[in-house]
Amino acid sequence: MLPPKSSWSPSATVEILQTRAKLMAGIRDFFSKRQVLEVETPLLSHGTITDPHIQAIPALFIGAEKKTVFLQTSPEYAMKRLLAADVGAIYQICKAFRQGEIGKLHNPEFTLLEWYRPGFDHHDLMDEMSDLLQCILQTKPIVRLSYHEIFETYLKINPHTASFVELAICAEKNQVDMVSDLSDRNAWLNLLLSHCIEPHLGQENPVFVYDFPASQAALAKIRPENPPVASRFELYFKGVELANGFHELLDAKEQRKRFEADLLFRKQQGLGASSIDERFLAALEKGLPDCAGVALGIDRLMMLALGCPSIKEAMSFHFEHA
């Protein structure tokens, strides 16, 4: 329910805003000392993502003609276009927007810290992220566990080989009563991860989960091992997903194939249509330096650092107060 229109007050306290500002300054200082360049990229873009589980918020631009443009869901494509222009190591703190996402850990408008490191792979970037968190939040050292390991530890199941039915039985055994029809194996894996594993992750030391199934590679390189795994990682702290990173896919042809697969999946599942961002693909064709990149949710980080019950209390005005 929306608060009354006359409710003008912020959702965060002044103390929280001051601490937030201090942490932001700490982040900028961290990158400045390491000669990582701060950049800004458009929040309003002509293109958007194909990712089936992320929907962009459209906006209407009225110029010579009316055109639907999109609030960016992440600065990833624009930042990679900068990398293709040989800008070197870059970071950005910006707003990102996602349609329909609202809850204890979601706000349709949120703040991301995203950075890219030419010459790094995903493990090098995990090292740097670990330094950042210990530097600004004094966290304990970050533990690394593979996607395979967390499923074996918490659910005694192999996420790479388990069948559809085995995943469904596993959910049932763990008191997850799934009502909807999940026709996609990755959806079952996401259900188990979010409901049964995530709450346990990072309760003491923050945890990096790495080497995701190839079917969840997104924009990460896939390594042809047995089974093939994606050079993708996520950070979990106190049961909350905080960051997602990749050893970035550089192959424009492979990238186009993944985009086309996304579009097909969207069509099959009756999700909204989208289109391929050709400017991003053109940058990949020109060539990107070998690099790793990661995006970290700043509001969630603040929420955990400040002991807030939800992200609402960590931002000046959450969506219902905006």
Partner 1 sequence: MTVYTTNEIRNGMKVMIDGDPCVILANEFVKPGKGQAFNRIKIRNLKTGRVVERTYKSGDSLDGADVVDIDAQFLYSDGMHWHFMSSETYEQYLMSEAEVADTKLWLKEQAECLLTLWNGTPLAVTPPIFITLKIVETDPGVRGDTSGGGGKPAKLETGAVVRVPLFVQEGELVKVDTRTGEYVSRAKE
Contacts with partner 1, residue ranges (CB under 8 A): 1, 51, 53-54, 100-106, 175-180, 182, 184, 186-187, 189-191, 193-195, 216, 218, 234, 241, 244
Give CA angle at 71 (284, 268), nearest 5°.
Answer: 70
Distance of closest approach, residue 286 Cβ to partner 1, in angstroms: 26
Nearer of residues 128 and 198 to partner 1, judged by Cβ: 198
Distance of closest approach, residue 319 Cβ to partner 1, in angstroms: 12
How many Å apart are CA 13 and CA 206, to the nearest integer?
26
Nearer of residues 128 and 234 to partner 1, judged by Cβ: 234
- According to DSSP, the β-strands at 143-146 and 57-62 are unpaired
How many Å apart are CA 311 and CA 122, to the nearest integer?
27
Nearer of residues 165 and 179 to partner 1, judged by Cβ: 179
Nearest to 186 by CA among 164, 208, 201: 164
Nearer of residues 53 and 123 to partner 1, judged by Cβ: 53
Nearer of residues 63 and 103 to partner 1, judged by Cβ: 103
Reduced to 3 states (helix: H, G, I; strand: E, B; else coil), residue 216 is helix
Distance of closest approach, residue 29 Cβ to partner 1, in angstroms: 27
Distance of closest approach, residue 51 Cβ to partner 1, in angstroms: 7
b/e code 38-65 from CB counts within 10 Å (16+ = b) = ebebebebebbbbbbebbbbeeeeeeee
- Which positions ≥6 away from 48 have C-beta within 8 Å? 56, 70, 72, 73, 274, 275, 277
Distance of closest approach, residue 106 Cβ to partner 1, in angstroms: 6
Distance of closest approach, residue 62 Cβ to partner 1, in angstroms: 29
Reduced to 3 states (helix: H, G, I; strand: E, B; else coil), residue 191 is helix
Distance of closest approach, residue 141 Cβ to partner 1, in angstroms: 23
Cβ atoms 219, 54 nearer than 8 A: no
Nearer of residues 227 and 272 to partner 1, judged by Cβ: 272
Cβ atoms 38, 255 nearer than 8 A: no
Nearest to 54 by CA among 299, 265, 280, 279: 265
Q: What is the DSSP string of 15-28?
A: HHHHHHHHHHHHHH
Distance of closest approach, residue 67 Cβ to partner 1, in angstroms: 27
Nearer of residues 17 and 182 to partner 1, judged by Cβ: 182
Nearer of residues 89 and 241 to partner 1, judged by Cβ: 241
